[in-house]
């Protein structure tokens, strides 16, 4: 897989950098992320590296469901780092922030790139 499956984002609302890596775990090595065993259940993950960047990895570049799952982890981790409290009574910020990341990632995933939702 080529480098075109590694994408860089900077959140315009908060000062966090995010990297999306699709499929190729070799692209994770520069961030100090050890290779994980190749198992069926292992479809994606989220890490924060020593520079504070969040790295989202999705094993299958067509796996929209795992991407949405990891986008929720990303949104909660960033809101937690900022000390923004969200509960069942005020979870709109979480819903909107997850939606922001889903939209960003959607447009980079090869099967969906350039297509409207």
Reported as a single tens digit per residue, the pLDDT across 65-102 is 999 999 999 999 999 999 999 998 989 999 999 999 99
Q: Taking the mean position of all CA atoms in its chain, how far away is CA 27?
A: 14
Q: Taking the mean position of all CA atoms in its chain, how far away is CA 10?
A: 12
Q: How far apart are CA 46 and CA 66, in angstroms?
A: 11
**Mean pLDDT, to the nearest integer, of 107-115?**
80
> Please, what sign has the CA dihedral across residues 7, 8, 12, 15?
positive
Model confidence, pTM? 0.87
Alpha helices by DSSP H, listed for 22-91, are: 64-82
Task: Please report, for the chain, the start and end positions of each structural domain, with discontinuous segments joined by +.
Answer: 3-106
Please state, rounded to an integer, the average pLDDT across all residues of the chain.
88
Burial of 24 (0-12, 13-18, 19+ CB in 10 A): middle
Kindly report, residue by residue over 25-67, the tens digit of the pLDDT. Answer: 888 888 888 666 555 557 999 999 989 999 999 999 999 999 9
N residues, the chain? 117
Conformation bin of residue 62: beta by default, left when phi > 0, alpha when psi is -120 to 50: alpha
């Amino acid at each position: 897989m080529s480098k075109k499956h590694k994408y860089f984002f900077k959140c315009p609302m908060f000062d966090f950098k995010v990297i999306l890596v699709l499929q190729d775990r070799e692209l994770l090595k520069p961030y100090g992320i050890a290779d994980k065993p190749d198992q069926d259940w292992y479809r994606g993950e989220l890490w924060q590296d020593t520079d504070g960047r969040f790295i989202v990895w999705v094993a299958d570049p067509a796996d929209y469901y795992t991407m949405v799952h990891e986008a929720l982890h990303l949104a909660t981790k960033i809101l937690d780092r900022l000390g923004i409290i969200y509960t069942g009574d005020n979870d709109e910020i979480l819903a909107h922030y997850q939606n922001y990341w889903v939209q960003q990632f959607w447009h980079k995933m090869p099967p969906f790139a350039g297509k409207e939702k």
